[in-house]
Amino acid sequence: MSTAPAAVAAPAKSSGGFTGKAANYLDERTSISGAVKEFGRKIFPDHWSFLLGEVALYSFVVILLSGTFLTFFFDAAMTHTTYEGSYAPMNGVHMSAAMASTLDISFDIRGGLLMRQVHHWAALLFVASIGLHMLRVFFTGAFRKPREINWVIGFVLFILAMAEGFTGYSLPDDLLSGNGLRIIDGMIKSFPLVGTWISFLLFGGEFPGEDIVGRLYSLHIMILPAMVILFIALHLVFLIVHKHTQYPGPGRTEQNVVGFPILPVYAAKAGGFFFIVFGVIMATATFFQINPIWNYGPYDPSPVSAGTQPDWYIGFADGMLRLAPPHLEFVWLDRTWSFGILLPVIILGLFIVTVLIYPFIEAWVTGDKREHHLLDRPRNAPTRTAIGAAGVTFYAVMWAAASSDLIATHFRVTMEGVIHTLQALLFLGPVIAYFVTKRICLGLQKKDREIALHGYETGRIVRLPGGEYIEVHEQVSDYERWELVSYKDQAPIMLRPNAQGKITGSMRLRAAMSRWFFEDRIAPVTQTELDKSHGDDHH
Amino acid sequence: MAQDANSGKDLAAANSSSHDLVPEDSGTGVVSPDAVKNPGHPEHRKRVTDLDPKKEKQAERTVFVLFFLSAVGSLWAVAAYMMFPIDGQMELVRSNNLFIGLGATLALMALGIGAVHWGKAIMADHESVDERHPVRGTDETRARAIEIFEEANEESGFGRRALIRNSLIGALVVFPLPAVALFRGLAPYDEDPVELLQHTMWKKGTRLARDPSGVPIKASDVTLGSAFHVIPEDLNTAKDVLNEKAKAIVLLMRLKPEDLNELPERKNWSYNGIVAYSKVCTHVGCPVALYEQQTHHLLCPCHQSQFDVANHATVIFGPAARPLPQLPIEVDDEGYLVAQSDFTEPVGPSFWERH
Ligand code: HEM
Ligand code: FES
């Protein structure tokens, strides 16, 4: 970076007071003025849906703050102790040091329970906001070139967040966390070839052993947070390199970004929003109890725990396990293949990988090499939106399955009925969601087209001199119309032989996919159509 | 990073200067020459606070009050910390939680809302425009980058000297192996997981005792239709109580002998209609702890696998694949229920080497 003397002198010149001197001091040692010049007035577009990513970022900061407080008191050891803290009902109960210290945080440290609840609520919000942010990015097509890699980074963050959540949930070593680990242990053991040994190494011997909490603690407060921070940093660097996407609107193009500068407006709003997110988490932690481990007791492999639920973001995996049909296990080559567990794991894995690589699939189908900075309104990409709806439905069915017992008892239906229904819905639901969503999108597009060309119905009926009644249509303004007509249109590709005069299998597949994506399409209104319709309206 | 020549331009200026599209492969994207023209930025609308100095003053006051309240909230939280001691009583802990939390909530919310209000109502609110530049480097930059790699390749001989290059790659591939080997130390060296999973602490003569008290159970205590949660009598003196318990937990039930459909080879594993089954689910290992006396079904609370006790605990529903292993029992001279042996197969979830 060039350090032209003029630039250095600038802050000192503009203000001779303390601030000026301090700025000068700093700049002479750090060249910071360059960064202010580069970023200070960077423009960020405004839209409520852009706040979802911010919620994720801010709740992570809250997690870091509250988690650090907890580390000062939490004892990640499974040494057996007898509880002697001030919560009387647990007095004399045998438990691990981890559980005892979590009880101490709750009952012997002022504000400790509040910090635990802040940490836990913030964790739930963190995963939820990443998920919603991801949906926003998907349904608006923000993952298209040049942002495919940032989609992958964001998705890795989603997975890391779930891993953070699961490891954290396991730390207090209460009945529920132990049961969660029990399930993980059983799943790991089912893996061919390596499962038994991975479980043995992970738990430091047999389940539950005395090592797992300490090991998960290393992951929870060191390795995973470091990775989360690294990926967030990368995510934000790319955000700056690409500049933020924007919704289509008058004056907005692929070559510009319209919004407010970082300094001062965006900083005030975003900074303020951080405190609001923190405030909402604090309020939730103030009024709503979460994870009352003293009601569950220490981990013991034996007691019942009917109706208990994992944290919400683990639900889909737990639900998928429940949906496997019985008797999927067999012995082959003298080894046990437990497909009752492997099949759900494989389905989950395929689902995750599909979401991860979706941007590359769509890019391959369209062959579109342009940069896309204007977002799609979901209706304007009907097939993508329908695929998204199918994915959401698939996830929702798995998630509902995690509460199959509660559904059965609540609605007084049989367990078998619930599971069989959900098994069917797992496959039918996404298909139905796909077709319904696609129809809705196309319908909305048609309506947009109608309004762009002929205006909207005013509900005002007038009688023409000829005695005929008509409803008056009001034309939309140019600005409003622009939002209805300015979307990117994609058409299916023609299958043509390549330079060698051949049609390869991959070309066929691409053509088929392209037809699937773009066959049903409503083309945007053209200028000619517009002129024509306005001509008609005037007569 | 691309330098913005005219970053933060205001809208009027921007309307006149949109530069041309870089022609690029749009794939299946349709670029229509007949598209409707972008009408350009709409005119800026002023806010009430821009038009009415009184309203502006009012907004300023609101922000001030919010920031003031925030400070009050913070001090309140500190005062609550001192005024609400806790000593284990749920009520006191609740108050402590509530009052510190209320103060902190007020502090945070007021601060946040105040800052946002300042940004929205008072700070200058005209939108501005940044130009975008293609993410790719310019052609010159890219040419220079390639040149640098070529120079580096030339100077190092990385491409030419295949022998040392390949041996370098080889060495790098092997180099993490010691780290992997070190992780063997995560679990004891002198134990074999497959071996451990084959056995539990049940052996011939071990008394069946109540969980968790450890009081042994007499056959005569087990009335028809009842069910007991069972551990080995000597569990609580074992070396690793939880590890042993995780494998050794058992459910004991008494059915009418005529309801029991026993396998021929297990005819003498029960006593008077009393049967004992492993309580560790064969799915992924939760305790199968719900017994429905009417139907003789055992239900696992984790994923709802159901086992039919009357039919040697076969799976009748749910994701589990195998019946619960049965513990052969008999009665000793004093009338206590005892195990005839260990389980004859590994208990709990399946694993690769199980067979
Ligand atoms: C995305 C990141 C994180 C998530 C999702 C997360 C989630 C959780 C959850 C759900 C718990 C259980 C809390 C409870 O007892 O109810 C927990 C416990 C804990 N977390 Fe985190 N955490 C994260 C990051 C961190 C970080 C960065 C630290 C430390 C700097 C930390 C420190 C702790 C400690 C010490 C505990 C145990 C104390 C306790 O259970 O009360 N966590 N975490
Ligand atoms: S652990 Fe019993 S059904 Fe899953």
Q: Does residue A131 carry a pLDDT above 70?
A: yes
Return left, alpha or beta for B210; rule: phi > 0 is left, psi -120 to 50 is alpha, else beta. beta
Confidence class of residue A326 from pLDDT cuts 50, 70 and 90? confident
Q: What is the mean pLDDT of residues A129-157?
A: 98
Q: Does residue A533 carry a pLDDT above 90?
A: no
Q: Do A265 and B125 touch (CB under 8 A)?
A: yes
Q: Does residue A497 carry a pLDDT above 90?
A: no
Q: How far apart are CA A141 and CA A135, in angstroms?
A: 10
Region of poorest pLDDT, from A36-40, A344-348, B276-280: A36-40
pLDDT tens, position by position, A54-76: 999 999 999 999 999 999 999 99
Q: What is the mean pLDDT of residues A148-157?
A: 98
Q: How far apart are CA B66 and CA B123, in angstroms?
A: 17
Q: Do B116 and A272 touch (CB under 8 A)?
A: yes
* Residue A300 with chain B: CB contacts under 8 Å: 212, 242, 245
pTM over 0.80? The answer is yes
If you take atom 4 of ligand 2, which residue's CA is the nearest one? B303
More confident site: A397 or A502? A397
Q: What is the mean pLDDT of residues A449-453?
A: 94
* Residue B350 with chain A: CB contacts under 8 Å: 189-190, 329, 336, 338, 340-341
Report whether A275 contacts B108 (CB < 8 A).
yes
Q: What is the mean pLDDT of residues A9-17?
A: 56
Q: How far apart are CA B320 and CA A435, in angstroms?
A: 35
Average pLDDT, chain A: 93
Confidence class of residue A5 from pLDDT cuts 50, 70 and 90? very low
Confidence class of residue A141 from pLDDT cuts 50, 70 and 90? very high
Q: How far apart are CA A177 and CA B259, in angstroms?
A: 38
| Structure tokens that stand for B123 in this block | 């700070």
Helix (H) or strand (E) holding A259: strand A256-261
| Structure tokens that stand for B118 in this block | 């300042």
Partners of B216 in beta bridges:
B209
| Structure tokens that stand for B32 in this block | 């229509």
A74 CB less than 6 Å from ligand 1? yes
pLDDT value at residue B6: 42
**CA-closest candidate to residue A437, choices A347, A352, A513, A520:** A520
Q: CB distance from A417 to chain B under 8 Å? A: no
Q: How far apart are CA A340 and CA B318, in angstroms?
A: 10
**CA-closest candidate to residue A182, choices A300, A297, A291:** A300
Torsional sign, CA B248, B249, B253, B258: negative
Confidence class of residue A15 from pLDDT cuts 50, 70 and 90? low
SS (H, E, C) A268-289: HHHHHHHHHHHHHHHHHHHHCC
- Give residue A351's identity as a one-letter amino acid code: F
Q: Do B242 and A240 touch (CB under 8 A)?
A: no
pLDDT tens, position by position, A167-183: 999 999 999 999 999 99
Angle at CA of residue B123, ends B120 and B125, nearest 5°: 70
Query: What ligand is nearest to the CA atom of residue A180?
Result: 2
Q: How far apart are CA A69 and CA A399, in angstroms?
A: 32
| CB within 8 Å of A106: residues ≥ 6 apart | A87, A112, A113, A116, A293, A294, B93
Confidence class of residue A460 from pLDDT cuts 50, 70 and 90? confident
B283 CB less than 6 Å from ligand 2? yes
* Residue A273 with chain B: CB contacts under 8 Å: 112, 116
What is the whole-number distance in angstroms between the Cα of residue A99 and the centre of ligand 2? 25
pLDDT value at residue A537: 53
The burial of B163, by beta-carbon neighbours within 10 Å (0-12 exposed, 13-18 middle, 19 or more buried), is given as exposed
For chain B, which residues score pLDDT lower than 70?
A: 1-23
What is the CATH code for B195-339?
2.102.10.10
Q: What is the mean pLDDT of residues A309-324?
A: 93
CB A91: neighbour CB atoms within 10 A?
A: 12
**CA-closest candidate to residue B80, choices B120, B107, B49, B58:** B107
**Lookup result for tokens 């007020």:** B106
Q: How far apart are CA B327 and CA B203, in angstroms?
A: 10
DSSP calls for A14-72: H--SHHHHHHHHHHHHH-HHHHHHHHTT-EE---GGGHHHHHHHHHHHHHHHHHHHHHT
A378 CB less than 6 Å from ligand 1? no
Q: Does residue A7 carry a pLDDT above 50?
A: no
Three-state DSSP class for residue A118 = helix
Residues 121-160 of A with CB under 8 A from B: 146
- Residue B212: is the preceding peptide bond cis (ω within 30°)? yes
What is the whole-number distance in angstroms between the Cα of residue B321 and the centre of ligand 2? 10
Three-state DSSP class for residue B271 = strand
Give chain A's domains with CATH numbers: 4-31 (no CATH), 43-74+90-316 (1.20.810.10), 449-535 (no CATH)
Report whether A176 contacts A247 (CB < 8 A).
no
Q: Which of B280, B286, B324, B350 to mutate to test the pocket of ligand 2 (most atoms within 8 A of CB)?
A: B286
* Residue A185 with chain B: CB contacts under 8 Å: 284-285, 349
Residues 17-36 of A with CB under 8 A from B: none
CB A457: neighbour CB atoms within 10 A?
A: 12
Query: Does this complex have an ipTM over 0.95?
Result: no
Residues 429-468 of A with CB under 8 A from B: none
Q: How far is CA A249 from CA A323, A376, A418, B92, B124, in A?
A: 45, 11, 46, 55, 21
* Residue A110 with chain B: CB contacts under 8 Å: 81, 84-86, 96, 100
Q: What is the CA radius of gyration of chain B?
A: 38
Average pLDDT, chain B: 92
Percentage of chain A beyond pLDDT 90 is 86
Q: How far apart are CA A393 and CA A437, in angstroms?
A: 11
Q: Does residue A1 carry a pLDDT above 80?
A: no
Q: Which residue stretches of A243-338 are H helix?
A: 267-287, 293-296, 315-323
**CA-closest candidate to residue A183, choices A207, A165, A148:** A207
Q: Does residue A539 carry a pLDDT above 60?
A: no
| Structure tokens that stand for B54 in this block | 């009184």
Quote the strand ranges of B76-232, DSSP E.
128-131, 208-210, 227-232
Q: How far apart are CA A265 and CA B117, in angstroms?
A: 10
pLDDT value at residue B25: 85
Region of poorest pLDDT, from A84-98, A147-161, A203-217, A485-499: A485-499
